[in-house]
């Protein structure tokens, strides 16, 4: 694959114009949008407005005047079409971790006589930690984690299982689970299913309603570009909204928060999943970031994502020196998300050397280099240039430099 072919791919890219909607730093090839999405210009503008005009001038009246109070629902409604959800089932609040707590405990509560939560080894740590915390809180007879290997998921779906909790796209390998099939298998056994969409939302099409999934959580700061620590979202299927109660019964999820009554009465619908006061500045940033998705569809994003990862692999294969980097993501593009992970003994210093040379991936312990591909702001030519830098770092052994060996707190 030559540079002119790569340039042709950019010429034919229907999403090419989206790049101009982001404020990207010069001389940086950003392949880490799966950890922290880049800054949308719309978010920068909105944050400024919320801080100076709304907070600065209009102060408390902004809750009504600028509809701050509606942000959790409004922003959730913008995420809904990206994950194949009809209106009234998605809300933006808290972090994935906190939302997992709400949904897991609520689900366990309606699964009378069942106590097991099945999840997968290699799932994102916080997902597993949250189940362990609930186990400690409620006791094993109410919640018991069964963490199995990927191949054993199906056989673990027994009659004592209350919830199957999986991450749709694995954060390390990028492997995609068959959501529809696993949800159906679980439902056939009376098991509720909770999906973590952290690496799915905004990166590939998801069909929550069509898969008849019960619950989901997802991330605001990865492929949705909401900004560092942007609030997360949660999805609850319509059919559960009347029968379920979440335990973090805060005033924002009350039917009438400003009547200030002493007895908790949950709001109708998805709003009952709110707990405390929304983080307005962060949520406004996410809300503005989502406008970038307005006139495009997830199929276009998926096509570009596949194109970018395939291009990366084809270019990498042209250099025999890069063979030492072993692909641990699936070869099969149909079961691979918008990332490529490679193992290498020197993964950490290679990562540091790449960053120093203007290519930003991330490192995941113990020996993985992870490249994330955000179709909205990456060009095929960026991939070409990133491979040139990668080749230089490896062949010239730049990563052996002492300064790249020191571990930072966040990797
Ligand atoms: C990034 C990520 C999270 C983050 O959880 P927070 O509580 O929002 O920090 C959770 N799960 C997965 C799979 C992730 O990739």
CATH number (domain holding residue 152): 3.40.640.10
37 within domain boundaries = no
36 within domain boundaries = no
Same-domain pairing of 268 and 330: no
Q: Whose CA is nearest to atom 2 of ligand 1?
A: 198
Question: Strand, coil or helix: what is 355?
Answer: helix
Q: Whose CA is nearest to atom 1 of ligand 1?
A: 198
Domain holding 363, by residue range, is 3-30+297-404
Indicate the average pLDDT of the chain: 97
CATH label of the domain that carries residue 303 = 3.90.1150.10
Question: Strand, coil or helix: what is 125?
Answer: helix
Domain boundary among 242, 263, 293: 293
pLDDT(68) > 80? yes
DSSP 8-state class, residue 94:
S
196 within domain boundaries = yes
384 within domain boundaries = yes
* pLDDT at residue 309 in the model: 98
* Reported confidence tier of residue 191, pLDDT bands at 50, 70, 90: very high
- Kindly give the distance from the C-alpha atom of residue 176 to the centroid of ligand 1, in angstroms, as a whole number: 16
Same-domain pairing of 178 and 217: yes
Mean pLDDT over residues 44-51, rounded?
98
DSSP 8-state class, residue 51:
I
Ligand 1 — pocket residues by CB below 6 A?
Answer: 95-97, 124, 126-127, 167, 171, 196, 198-199, 219, 232
Structure tokens at 151: 């191949």
- Chain centroid, CA 18 distance in Å: 20
> 């993964």: which residue's tokens?
347
Q: Whose CA is nearest to atom 14 of ligand 1?
A: 198
- Kindly give the distance from the C-alpha atom of residue 22 to the centroid of ligand 1, in angstroms, as a whole number: 23
- Kindly give the distance from the C-alpha atom of residue 28 to the centroid of ligand 1, in angstroms, as a whole number: 25
35 within domain boundaries = no
Percent of the chain scoring above 70 in pLDDT: 100
Give the Cα separation of 330 and 54 in Å (integer). 47
Atom index in ligand 1 nearest the CA of residue 171 equals 15
Same-domain pairing of 234 and 101: yes
203 within domain boundaries = yes
338 within domain boundaries = yes
Percent of the chain scoring above 90 in pLDDT: 98
- Kindly give the distance from the C-alpha atom of residue 345 to the centroid of ligand 1, in angstroms, as a whole number: 26
Domain boundary among 293, 314, 331: 293
* Reported confidence tier of residue 407, pLDDT bands at 50, 70, 90: confident
* Reported confidence tier of residue 202, pLDDT bands at 50, 70, 90: very high
Phi, psi of 70, rounded to the nearest 5 degrees: -90, -5
The residue whose CB lies within 8 Å of the most ligand 1 atoms, and thus the one to mutate among 37, 102, 103, 124, is 124
Same-domain pairing of 156 and 101: yes
**Cβ neighbour number for residue 194 with a 10 Å cutoff:** 26
CA angle in degrees (0–180, nearest 5) for 331-32-223? 85
Same-domain pairing of 58 and 199: yes
User: Considering only CA atoms, which of 217, 279, 270, 278 is closest in space to residue 252?
Assistant: 278
pLDDT(411) > 80? no
Same-domain pairing of 214 and 264: yes
Same-domain pairing of 110 and 147: yes
User: Considering only CA atoms, which of 132, 123, 134 is closest in space to residue 165?
Assistant: 123
The residue whose CB lies within 8 Å of the most ligand 1 atoms, and thus the one to mutate among 125, 167, 219, 232, is 219
Mean pLDDT over residues 138-149, rounded?
98
Give the Cα separation of 167 and 198 in Å (integer). 8
Structure tokens at 315: 């270019």
* pLDDT at residue 132 in the model: 98
Atom index in ligand 1 nearest the CA of residue 35 equals 1
* pLDDT at residue 406 in the model: 86
* pLDDT at residue 408 in the model: 81
Give the Cα separation of 59 and 100 in Å (integer). 33
Domain count, the chain: 2
- Residues constituting the chain: 411
User: Considering only CA atoms, which of 382, 354, 357 is closest in space to residue 370?
Assistant: 354
411 within domain boundaries = no
For the full predicted model, state whether its pTM sits above 0.85.
Answer: yes
Same-domain pairing of 202 and 97: yes
Same-domain pairing of 262 and 360: no
pLDDT(267) > 90? yes
Domain boundary among 256, 278, 293: 293
Same-domain pairing of 56 and 173: yes
* Reported confidence tier of residue 370, pLDDT bands at 50, 70, 90: very high
Span 84-129, pLDDT tens digits: 999 999 999 999 999 999 999 999 999 999 999 999 999 999 999 9
Atom index in ligand 1 nearest the CA of residue 222 equals 1
Same-domain pairing of 101 and 249: yes
* Reported confidence tier of residue 229, pLDDT bands at 50, 70, 90: very high
* pLDDT at residue 216 in the model: 98
Which residues make beta-bridge pairs with 364?
A: 368
Write out the catalytic residue numbers.
Answer: 124, 196, 221-222, 370
Same-domain pairing of 238 and 352: no
């Amino acid at each position: 694959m030559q540079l002119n072919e790569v340039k042709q791919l950019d010429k034919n890219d229907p999403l090419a114009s989206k790049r101009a909607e982001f404020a990207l730093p010069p001389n940086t090839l950003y392949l880490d949008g799966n950890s922290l999405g880049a800054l949308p210009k719309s978010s920068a503008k909105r944050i400024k407005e919320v801080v100076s005009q709304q907070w600065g001038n209009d102060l408390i009246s902004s809750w009504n005047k600028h509809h701050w109070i509606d942000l959790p629902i409004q922003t959730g409604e913008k995420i809904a079409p990206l994950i194949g959800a009809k209106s009234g089932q998605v809300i933006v609040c808290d972090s994935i971790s906190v939302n997992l707590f709400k949904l897991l405990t609520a689900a366990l509560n309606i699964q009378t006589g069942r106590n097991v939560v099945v999840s997968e080894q290699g799932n994102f740590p916080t997902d597993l930690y949250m189940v362990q915390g609930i186990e400690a809180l409620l006791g094993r007879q109410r919640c018991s984690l069964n963490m199995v290997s990927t191949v054993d998921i199906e056989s673990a779906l027994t009659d004592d299982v209350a919830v199957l909790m999986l991450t749709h796209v694995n954060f390390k390998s990028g492997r995609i689970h068959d959501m529809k099939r696993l949800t159906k298998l679980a439902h056939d056994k009376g098991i509720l299913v909770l999906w973590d969409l952290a690496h799915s939302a905004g990166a590939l099409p998801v069909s929550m309603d069509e898969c008849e999934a019960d619950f989901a959580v997802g991330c605001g700061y990865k492929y949705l570009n909401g900004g560092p620590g942007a609030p997360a979202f949660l999805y609850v299927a319509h059919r559960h909204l009347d029968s379920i109660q979440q335990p973090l019964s805060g005033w924002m999820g009350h039917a009438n928060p400003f009547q200030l009554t002493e007895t908790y009465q949950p709001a109708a619908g998805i709003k009952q999943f709110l707990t405390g006061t929304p983080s307005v500045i962060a949520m406004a940033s996410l809300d503005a970031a989502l406008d970038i998705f307005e006139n495009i569809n997830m199929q276009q994003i998926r096509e570009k994502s596949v194109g970018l990862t395939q291009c990366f692999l084809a270019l990498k294969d042209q250099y025999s020196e890069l063979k030492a980097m072993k692909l641990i993501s699936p070869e099969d593009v149909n079961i691979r998300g918008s990332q490529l992970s490679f193992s290498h003994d020197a993964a950490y210093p290679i990562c540091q050397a790449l960053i120093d040379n203007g290519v930003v991936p991330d490192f995941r312990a113990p020996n993985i280099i992870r490249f994330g591909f955000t179709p909205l702001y990456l060009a095929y030519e960026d991939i070409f240039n990133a491979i040139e830098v990668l080749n230089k770092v490896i062949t010239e052994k730049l990563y052996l430099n002492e300064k790249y060996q020191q571990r930072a707190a966040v990797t």
